[in-house]
Amino acid sequence: MLLPLNEWLWQHKFWLPPGITWEDMKETEEIRYPQPQHLLLCLPLALLLIALRFAFERNIAVPLSRKMGLREKAQRKALPNPVLEVFYATHKKGPKEAELSSLAKQCDLQPRQVERWFRHRQIEDRPSLTKKFSEASWRFTFYLTSFCTGLAVLFDKSWLWDHRECWTGYPQQPLLPSIFGYYMLQLSFYCSLVFTLPFDVKRKDFREQVAHHAITIFLISFSYCANYLRIGTLVMIIHDTADCFLEPTKIFNYLKWQRTCDTLFLIFSAVFLFTRLAIFPYMVLYNTYYYSMEIFQPFFGYYFMNALLILLQLLHVFWSGLIIHMVYKFSQCGTMERDLRSDLEESEKSEEDSGQQKEAKRNGTLRREPGRNSSARPRRPAVDEWLTPAGQQAHQSEATPVGSTNCIALPTAPAPQACCS
């Protein structure tokens, strides 16, 4: 069953332009062409990068974070409770109202104590600042290395300066050792990111991030097999340009170096918007859609390649919208409050705050924060409320803070006397 499927998948009409077969792409002693089996090398390289990342974070990133003054906030831990722990392991979130009452009865606790336990338990599972710092440091190191490698590989290549050269002699373009190494470096890195997704810091744009990794791996693999190497190298170096500024922005945000963080954020925003919304559409999309048509007629690989590039560009537009929104907030506030791909725990923090407000409201301890209407006059009681002793006592207690020693007794009105004897 697998053999017929394999033969169908690797039909030359899917991968190569009309008139070109796999026989024309066979390697010789003088000329090497990309072969699909070369991609298997990325798997051991991805595992090697994971091991290298572990060593880097443990021996370099963590000590560096301490020397740069990164401080962890002390958090209260939840007390051991097997019943609540089993529920938390199953649901990963706080219980609803009905479940809250049931759990409180099982544990012989008050509902607010159960809510507080779940909040503390969720805080324990949040990634620490050191973990986020280490992850951002590793990605910054790789993106900077990859960008410098891409510049060194492509600087003397004709297609970097004249984009029509991407299609000269296609598809019979020899595979250069430097291009092969650059491709394997990129593909193995994105494979390693997929392998470590369950253990990395989960972001709000987790789904978009997974889609980006999947599209990137498909693009790199397909462009290698179909010998779109020249256009593929342009895509990779364009992406690395902006990523080199994103990760240090996160690093200095974790360190609370606000001025440095704000400066890098503005640089990153300008580079990202320029490379993803201007250079990428012209250098890549226009190139693959129109310049390639001067060499060959459309075929399946042409449509598939451009479909993946369009999906990638849609992600660029999505992230550009987030960045523009951040720039607008920056212009209003004068500072960047959080990084672009905000951590998931930021939203959990807001949920925790709302949970605390609900608990305070339930216990009758919720106080209104001073705001626009804080100086508004208190409600004037109705006349009939003053006529009863209970009403006078209630309004007097509202005007006097509980536990205050500076209370001023309100004078009581004298009893009415008869006007005539």
Higher-pLDDT residue of 321 and 405 is: 321
Higher-pLDDT residue of 35 and 400 is: 35
pLDDT of 28 higher than 90: no
Confidence of residue 419 (pLDDT cuts 50, 70, 90): very low
Model pLDDT, residue 350: 44
Task: Specify whether the CB–CB gap between 153 and 107 falls below 8 A.
Answer: no
Higher-pLDDT residue of 391 and 29 is: 29
Structure tokens at 110: 């008050």
Model pLDDT, residue 19: 79
The stretch 177-205 carries a mean pLDDT of 90
User: Residue 19: left if φ>0, alpha if ψ -120 to 50, beta else—which one?
Assistant: left
Model pLDDT, residue 74: 66
> Percentage of the chain with pLDDT > 90?
38
Peptide bond into 80 cis (omega under 30): no
Confidence of residue 334 (pLDDT cuts 50, 70, 90): low
pLDDT of 140 higher than 50: yes
pLDDT of 328 higher than 70: yes
pLDDT of 365 higher than 70: no
Mean residue pLDDT across the chain: 78
The stretch 366-378 carries a mean pLDDT of 44
The stretch 201-227 carries a mean pLDDT of 87
Model pLDDT, residue 407: 41
The per-residue pLDDT for range 231-283, each reduced to its tens digit, is: 999 999 999 999 999 999 999 999 989 899 999 999 999 999 999 999 999 99
pLDDT of 357 higher than 60: no
Listed residue (186, 300, 194, 189) closest to 233, CA to CA: 186
Confidence of residue 402 (pLDDT cuts 50, 70, 90): very low
The stretch 318-331 carries a mean pLDDT of 90
Model pLDDT, residue 1: 57
pLDDT of 420 higher than 60: no
Three-class HEC string of the chain:
CHHHHHHHHCCHHHHCCCCCCHHHHCCCCCCCCCCHHHHHHHHHHHHHHHHHHHHHHHHHHHHHHHHCCCCCCCCCCCCCCHHHHHHHHHHCCCCCHHHHHHHHHHHCCCHHHHHHHHHHHHHHHCCCHHHHHHHHHHHHHHHHHHHHHHHHHHCCCHHHHCHHHHHCCCCCCCCCHHHHHHHHHHHHHHHHHHHCHHHCCCECCHHHHHHHHHHHHHHHHHHHHCCCHHHHHHHHHHHHHHHHHHHHHHHHHHCCCHHHHHHHHHHHHHHHHHHHHHHHHHHHHHHHHCHHHHCCCCCHHHHHHHHHHHHHHHHHHHHHHHHHHHHHHHHHHCCCCCCCCCEHHHHHHHHHHHHHHHHHHHHCCCCCCCCCCCCCCCCCCCHHHHCCHHHHHHHHHHHCCCCCCCCCCCCCCCCCCCCCC
Write phi, then psi, for 294 (nearest 5 degrees): -75, -15
All residues at 6 or more sequence positions from 84 whose CB lies less than 8 Å from its CB, including other chains: 78, 103, 107, 114, 117, 118, 121
Handedness of CA 260, 139, 65, 198 (dihedral sign): positive
Structure tokens at 143: 């993106």
Domains and CATH numbers, the chain: 12-67+132-345 (no CATH), 82-125 (1.10.10)
Provide the b/e sequence for 93-109 (b: ≥16 CB within 10 Å).
Answer: ebbeeeebeebbeeeeb
Query: Is the pTM for the entire model greater than 0.75?
Result: no
What amino acid is encoded at 293 in this protein?
Answer: M
Helices 97-107, 82-91: axis angle to 10 degrees equals 150
> By mean pLDDT, which of 2-6, 258-262, 307-311 is the weakest?
2-6
The per-residue pLDDT for range 58-107, each reduced to its tens digit, is: 999 999 999 998 887 766 677 777 777 777 777 666 677 777 777 777 77
Distance CA 149, CA 230 (A): 15
The stretch 391-408 carries a mean pLDDT of 45
pLDDT of 42 higher than 50: yes
Neighbour tally for 344: CB within 10 Å: 15
Model pLDDT, residue 387: 42
